[in-house]
Amino acid sequence: MIIGNKKFDTKNNVYIMGILNITPDSFSDGGKYDTLDQALFRAEKMIKDGASIIDIGGESTRPGHIQISDDEEINRVMPVLEKLKSNFDIPLSLDTYKSNVVLAVKDKIDLVNDIWGLKYDPKMASAIAKIGLPCCIMHNRNDSNYTNFWEEFISDINESINLARAAGIKDENIMIDGGVGFAKSYEQNLSVMNRTDELCNLGFPVLVATSKKRVIGTSTDKTVDQRTIGTVATTVVGVMKGASFIRVHDIDENWDAIKMTKCIMEEKKWIP
């Protein structure tokens, strides 16, 4: 998979997508990196610690978040994207579900990470296709009422894949995310993580995005700032079950976990 000017060997390697929230209200790090200097310093550290992609979010997507206007989101992300592009040679992902935002910053981004799997904004798929960007399509829906969770979950993802294809997005430009923490019960979130290999069987690179989420807090009885080790456990499971990308806040710890897991799986020193 090609993202920006980098080729990602999703069959053999695992890569970290570092989270950079430039928002005042994100559940884990709201307000910590919402100035240009803070964002730049954070990005530099993530790259040093092993991140291969930086995912920039201008609007919190936590459950119950307050939606902001397209213009406000553009004004938040544009200066950060410009600064990162001019200072670092690393692919930049934009965490947004709004086509107007994507089009406004199209020359500054290398990947679109859509938490609504192209279903919120009817113009999103065509906007991505027009620009020629790769995208990550996440599972999400308006409610958590399922008759048969796994069948409907896979059906929902296939609907998103079909939207992408219909708009002209090539298969090689698609990765998928099971959407842990979105429209799912505690047990359903665990199922999505445990069945990552079945997601991989759909034929697309899989992103695991569980960092510090509520499912980890429920499992460990830990607060958000104490969920790094729990997150590392989900990373190990994701790698063992075939995920190609891991989206996390704590780069260093998770990168060590990925390297050690791959060494064990391959029974030799893994060279990424």
**Distances in whole angstroms, Cα of residue 94 to Cα of each of 109, 130, 159:** 7, 16, 22
> Which residue in 76, 213, 227, 262 is the catalytic one?
213
The verdict on whether 213 is a catalytic residue reads yes
Which residues touch 16 (CB under 8 Å, ≥6 apart)?
50, 51, 52, 53, 245, 246, 247, 248, 251, 254, 255, 258
Residue 225 CB: number of other CB atoms within 10 A? 9
Q: DSSP secondary structure string, 116-143?
A: TTT-SSTTHHHHHHHHT--EEEE---S-
The residue from 247, 259, 262, 268 that is catalytic is 247
Element (H, E) at 265: helix 251-266
| CA atoms lying within 13 Å on the CB side of residue 248 | 32
Which residues are known catalytic residues? 213, 247
